[in-house]
Structure 1
Amino acid sequence: MAVDDRLPAHLEVSGLIRAVDAAGGFATVISKGERTAGTIMVVCCDRATQARAYERMPQLDGSRKWVLSRKQEAENPREFTEWCNRRGEQDEDLWIVELDIVNAERFIDVKPFTS
């Protein structure tokens, strides 16, 4: 898919939320970004694992792949939340979406997280 052919951010976020809800989980927008061309950060969490933040990063072939940007550490869980808040402040176009469901990575086509 070419950059110009990307799905508008608000539609992609809406689709993620509906898919997680349909699977019995909970999803919410933590921070709204630019409606059409905003970037998306997905925070995956559930009771059994630490939170993980994924962002799409440009690849050499021109594609954009979900990459693990940050993982919550058990020793200092607040640091992860502070980092997410700073990311939102740094990029006004950024959408931050939390997916609270087991194996949340499946909704962004990433291999399941293992500790």
Structure 2
Amino acid sequence: MSRLPSGILVSAMLRRANDAGGFGTVLAKGDPQAGAVLVVAVEAGESRLFERGIGPDGRVGLIDSTPADDLTGYWRRRRLRDPDLWVIELDIPDSQRFAAETLCAD
């Protein structure tokens, strides 16, 4: 089964967050077809990073990629190595669930 293009997944995630009363924005635009998506999840003033990956159980899931410090510097360095990477910020309660439902749905 083929996956939806990254640009469509990002658009759907932002639309869903907006429809639920939250806010989402593109911090860095990646490849519209196959770019990976890094989500900056903001809740109660605290930010965490999540991305689609393979979990310890071997299944596709949302992986916490939050660095110990300098979250913005981390994703900017990732973009230098991977210019196809999308960076999306979601400011909504349970933003991790929103990201997982969009990025990890089969």
Counterparts of 2:58 and 2:5, CA distance in 1: 18
- Structure 2 gaps of 5+ residues are 102-106
**Is the aligned partner of 1:67 residue 2:63?**
yes
Aligned twin of 1:104: 95
1:80 aligns with 2:71: yes
Per-residue CA deviation, residues 24-62 of structure 1 (Å, 9 max, x unaligned), is 11100000111101111111003x142010111135887
Counterparts of 1:42-53 in structure 2 under 5 Å? Answer: 42-46=39-43, 48-53=44-49
Kindly indicate whether residue 47 of structure 2 is the aligned counterpart of residue 20 of structure 1: no
Q: 2:50 corresponds to which residue?
A: 54
- Give the TM-score, by structure 2 length: 0.83
Greater Rg over alpha carbons, structure = 1
Cross-structure match for 2:104: none
What displacement does 1:105 show? 1.0
Distance in 2 of aligned mates of 1:86 and 1:30: 14
1: CA distance, partners of 2:55 / 2:42: 26
Q: Percent identity?
A: 38
For residues 79 and 57 of structure 2, what CA distance do their matches in structure 1 show? 27
Q: Which runs of 5+ in 1 are unaligned?
A: 111-115
CA distance in 2, matches of 1:60, 1:70: 17
Q: Residues of 2 paired with 1:43 and 1:19: CA distance? A: 16
Q: Which residue of 2 aligns with 1:35?
A: 32
Moved >6 Å (runs of 4+): none
Give the TM-score of the pair, scaled to structure 1: 0.77
1:63 and 1:57 mapped to 2: Cα distance?
8
